[in-house]
Amino acid sequence: MPSTHLLPDDHDHPVHQHPPQPKPRISAWTVTKTPRSASAARLLQHEYPEPYVREATAADLDEISAFSARAFHHDPEMNWFGGLRFKADSTEAEEAQSLKNLGTFLDMVHRSVLIVGGRINVVALPQGAAGPEKLVAYCAWVPPNKVVEGTLTTVRARGHRILSKWGLGFVWRATAVFKPRIATIVKKSLKSKGFGTTDHFRIEITATDPDYQGRGFSTLLMKDGIAVSDASKPITLEATTAHSRDIYAHQGFELIETLKLGAGDVDVNGYKVTDKQKAVGFDVYVMARWPSSRIPAATRASGGQ
């Protein structure tokens, strides 16, 4: 199963919160009402139509998977999961198929999150006369004591579709290598802080459409999630780049451990290689944000930045 892949924005630009209206619930996650921050309140001053945040429904998954595939195209961890080899002269058709396969994998991830009672929040851009809203960013949260791994969950999430593309090697890498190693690191850290080994929120995956990065959308989604969970539970995630690691460090996340994956088999970009000198593997940064009561007051006051 997948990891958390983080592609945050560099700048926190204003985003409008859409006026409250009834929305279908797609999970059993009870969201606690929490006061908005001063920065979030300032967002309300912008007139509609502006980008707004809402909870995704199953009807949104195709659109989310399409833009997230573009965001994660050539991501080291995705390349490794898929057992891919770099091809400098790939055709448009090959690139399109690669994106389609990745989108299929991500769709399985998103469905798995919803199946176990998780929540996917999206940033939507109203299109006005041009048509319906456009989804440009999302963040998928798994609640405490839940995991997306499991044969039944994978079957219900239509996991067979990616198996026919990435093969059984993908299953081994995801379930026998990646998840056990991540779980060991996270459980050890949680236990050292006095928490149960599954008593944490997990950001399973988050991304912004490449055409809309740098506008603060991922930052807003993260702030909303922290507002819900930060008072009582840790939040865990993995970052696949040093850039995203550093951004989340500014948001109050602590680096637990740097995990090396694929050494002896893939290069720093996650592609399979035959030259063992290049088969150095790639880094995954396992991180956690501890509840507000365990974060120094100065850090809380600055929003972790």
pLDDT tens, position by position, 61-88? 999 999 999 999 999 999 999 999 998 8
Is residue 12 in a domain? no
Query: Which pTM does this prediction carry?
Result: 0.80
Confidence (pLDDT) at 295: 55
Is residue 155 in a domain? yes
Range of the domain at 237: 38-301
Is residue 281 in a domain? yes
Please spell the DSSP secondary structure of 53-94, one letter per residue: EEE--GGGHHHHHHHHHHHHTT-HHHHHHHT----TT--HHH
What are the pLDDT digits (tens) for 50-64?
888 999 999 999 999
Confidence (pLDDT) at 18: 41
Is residue 283 in a domain? yes
CA quadruple 13, 18, 23, 25: dihedral positive or negative? Answer: positive
Confidence (pLDDT) at 229: 75
What are the pLDDT digits (tens) for 219-267?
889 888 888 777 789 999 999 989 889 988 988 999 999 999 999 999 9
What are the pLDDT digits (tens) for 148-204?
988 899 999 999 999 999 999 999 999 999 999 999 999 999 999 999 999 999 999
- Long-range contacts: 182-190, Cβ < 8 Å, 24+? 182/3, 182/238, 182/259, 182/284, 182/286, 185/256, 185/257, 185/259, 185/286, 186/236, 186/256, 186/286, 186/288, 189/256, 189/257, 189/286, 189/288, 190/234, 190/288
With H, G, I as helix, E, B as strand and everything else as coil, classify residue 266. Answer: strand
Is residue 294 in a domain? yes
What are the pLDDT digits (tens) for 108-162?
999 999 999 999 999 999 987 667 899 999 999 999 999 998 889 999 999 999 9
In total, how many domains does the chain have?
A: 1
We report the CATH number of the domain holding residue 107 as 3.40.630.30
Is residue 25 in a domain? no
Query: What does the alpha-carbon distance between residue 294 and residue 288 come to, in Å, rounded to a whole number?
Result: 12
